[in-house]
Amino acid sequence: MSLTLEGVVLSPGIGIGPVLPLVPLAFVETGSLLSEEERGAELGRLEEALNRAEADLVRLQAQAEKTLGADKAALFSAHRLMLRDPMLVGAVREAVAGGRSASDAVVVKTAEIRALFEALPDPYLKERAADVDDVGRRLFRALTGHVDPSDLAGREGGPFVVVARDLTPSDTALLDPSRVVALVTEEGGPTSHTAIIAQSLAIPALSAVAGALGRLIEGTVVIVDGLKGEVVVAPDEAALDAGRRAAALFAEERRQAEALRDLPAVSADGVALPLWGNIARPDGAGEILSRGGDGVGLFRTEFLYMGRDEAPTEEEQLAAYAEALTVLSPRPVTIRTLDAGGDKEIPYLASLVGHEANPFLGYRAIRLCLDHPELFKVQLRALLRAAVAGNLWLMFPMVVDAEELRAAKALLDVCAAELEAEGLEWARPAKVGVMIETPGALLMADLLAREVDFFSVGTNDLTQYLLAADRMNPRLKRLQDPFHPAVIRGLSVVARAAAAAGIDLGMCGEMAGDPLAIPLLAALGFRELSMTPARIPAAKKVLRSLSVAEAGKRLDEVLKAVTTAEVRSLLASWP
């Protein structure tokens, strides 16, 4: 009798094949100590290993550019910077100078820095712990002479279902799609590099499969269902046949969706609903175009501030913003101002924030920026100067009332006046808006709508705040669902406020890319949906077959639903 394991979908699709476990190299310290005479030579060995690791990353970047494109391959450029970051390398050198072996120092300091990231509540930043671990392990392998565990060159058979505790970003980037039909991990989330790269490679992937390495034995045939979030272990012939048919159907639907890439994002009854992409780096803009997207709905600027000892300069920020605006011009690029502090800890800003018992409700985003105009003005000036390069939509995060919004807009005016006085080229943003991600903003939506050009709903945070359910707590999984009736009713409130004021209404949370949600969002009046770029083709397929008018006729029954299951069931029945 077959066994079924549950997991979280990272990349959709269905893969069938034998299990290939990837058991990571033991990354542990030995406890060996160096004499004073040995420490100089060990520091020299560390420098040689750093050079080898960096050469590896240069090679991997060139290889990834061929398979993934320049934007995804930029991951390895970031890893090269991290490899030389004083936060890691400086600490390792100090430990070696103090008597630790280089390999032990790498293990210890990598674990310390990884723990800092893992302690962050924000899931996107929490996932960056995997990058730290990846770089540390690469340096460790350079010191010990081991090879990448994801190198399948010597493996016979396949294609495989790769099973791992977690996959490092470089592990995932190097996987050969012709030899890997699916990925299953015990750890990792939907914002991880594993998810992003698996989606780009069109490899089905599941995470959070409890005990996967121990329960999935090498060579056992499994069905990885990246639609239902299940792994079927040792399926019988009937289950295999059903799995193969489902895989073929999904492949055909994906092919049909990709064929729509260059067609407009318009519903069957003529309603335009642009599909945009969420990015964290300017080089992500190119993938949006390659997927048939219409713009950027969320550019997360905090990543410009991380992995360094001081805030980025005005010129550095200008270059990053202008790059994305130029690539996508005249399409909109929605840039969110700095959302740091509290749950997004940046070392050189930590003294401004201090310790917080509840960082998700803490001193962060617009609150931090307004209190520190010396930080905020640098970003606003860069944005105003970058606006010359394209169609900038400027968005303020974590707003709870009109006072915060007015203060931010006033500071934007101050920066514009300064630039004008200095004779520098600048332009007003095409539109200025706010994220609706707090209950305060939701309840004040009718008033906020009078003072902005657009709303963008961040359903990830809004869901956890409305339902008082920490989205990182696995015991609250039932309450981490944007289809909860309270969230649906909240979206209706925002939609009515935007419509009454005649402003644009968009969404940049994960819900925006969910095929089940698109008819509902269109019926509510959302007219821009922003998602992980890989989801754009499937979203366009749903949209182009949708009648918004017909969906609108069924909206009331969803708004009256009492349970999350009822909401989902009703939406599943919509044509």
Percent of the chain surpassing pLDDT 70: 93
Spell out the residues 6+ positions from residue 254 whose beta carbon is closer than 8 angstroms to its own: 13, 202, 537, 538
Residue 120, pLDDT score = 67
Identity of the highest mean pLDDT range in 174-178, 202-206, 425-429, 529-533: 425-429
CATH code for position 182: 3.50.30.10
Residue 141, pLDDT score = 84
Does pLDDT of 257 surpass 90?
no
Q: Which of 26, 52, 46 has its CA nearest to residue 100? A: 46
Domain that holds residue 125: 36-144
What average pLDDT does the segment 3-8 reach? 88
336 annotated to bind ligand: yes
Residue 341's pLDDT band, with cuts at 50, 70 and 90, is low
Identity of the highest mean pLDDT range in 232-236, 256-260, 344-348: 232-236
For residue range 403-460, list pLDDT tens digits in order. Answer: 999 999 999 999 999 999 999 999 999 999 999 999 999 999 999 999 999 999 999 8
Sign of the CA dihedral running 445, 449, 450, 452: positive
Q: Is residue 209 part of a domain?
A: yes
More confident residue, 158 or 226: 226
What average pLDDT does the segment 516-538 reach? 94
d(CA 531, CA 275) in angstroms, rounded, equals 8
Last residue of a domain, one of 121, 144, 167: 144
* 13 and 60 belong to one structural domain: no
* 284 and 335 belong to one structural domain: yes
For residue range 263-297, list pLDDT tens digits in order. Answer: 999 999 999 999 999 988 887 888 899 889 999 99
Spatial strand order of the sheet with 180-185 comes to 3-6, 230-233, 221-225, 14-22, 160-164, 180-185, 205-207, 8-11
Spell out the residues 6+ positions from residue 490 whose beta carbon is closer than 8 angstroms to its own: 442, 462, 466
Q: Is residue 248 part of a domain?
A: no
User: Which of the following is catalytic: 79, 193, 369, 415?
Assistant: 193
381 annotated to bind ligand: no
134 annotated to bind ligand: no
437 annotated to bind ligand: yes
* 294 and 417 belong to one structural domain: yes
List the structure tokens of 314.
Answer: 């005005």
Residue 371, pLDDT score = 94
Q: Is residue 496 part of a domain?
A: yes
* 160 and 285 belong to one structural domain: no
d(CA 433, CA 456) in angstroms, rounded, equals 7
Q: List the alpha helices (DSSP H) in 175-312.
A: 193-201, 212-215, 237-259, 285-290
Buried b / exposed e over 412-423, threshold 16 CB at 10 Å, is beebbeebeeee
Residue 119, pLDDT score = 73
Does pLDDT of 242 surpass 90?
yes
* 236 and 365 belong to one structural domain: no
Rg, C-alpha atoms of the chain: 24
d(CA 435, CA 337) in angstroms, rounded, equals 10
Last residue of a domain, one of 120, 144, 168: 144
Residue 504's pLDDT band, with cuts at 50, 70 and 90, is very high
d(CA 172, CA 170) in angstroms, rounded, equals 5
More confident residue, 305 or 319: 319
* 391 and 411 belong to one structural domain: yes
* HSE, side-chain direction, 13 A CA sphere, residue 438: 18
For residue range 64-103, list pLDDT tens digits in order. Answer: 777 677 667 777 888 888 888 888 888 899 999 899 999 9
Q: Is residue 494 part of a domain?
A: yes
Whether 508 is catalytic is yes
List the structure tokens of 415.
Answer: 């920066």
Residue 150, pLDDT score = 60
Residue 332, pLDDT score = 98
Q: Return the beta strands (E) in 437-510 as ranges.
A: 454-457, 504-507
CATH code for position 281: 3.20.20.60
Question: Of the given ranges (143-157, 271-285, 523-537), which has the lowest mean pLDDT?
Answer: 143-157
* 202 and 304 belong to one structural domain: no
* 124 and 221 belong to one structural domain: no
Q: Which residue has the tokens 């949906």?
A: 529
Instruction: Give the Å distances, CA to CA, from 524 to 224, 273, 448, 548.
Output: 34, 12, 19, 9
* 301 and 187 belong to one structural domain: no
* 173 and 71 belong to one structural domain: no
Residue 353, pLDDT score = 76
Does pLDDT of 121 surpass 70?
no
Three-state DSSP class for 455? strand
Structural domain tally of the chain?
Answer: 3
Q: Letter for the amino acid at 493?
A: V
Length of the chain: 575
More confident residue, 446 or 52: 446
User: Which of the following is catalytic: 79, 415, 484, 508?
Assistant: 508
* 293 and 377 belong to one structural domain: yes
What average pLDDT does the segment 465-476 reach? 80
Mean pLDDT (the chain) is 88
* 331 and 402 belong to one structural domain: yes
Does pLDDT of 1 surpass 60?
no
C-beta of residue 434 within 8 angstroms of C-beta of residue 395: yes
Q: Return the beta strands (E) in 23-169 as ranges.
A: 160-164
- Dihedral angle computed from the Cα positions of residues 323, 324, 328 and 334, in that order, rounded to the nearest 10 degrees: -140
Three-state DSSP class for 530? strand
Give the max Cα distance, the chain.
Answer: 81
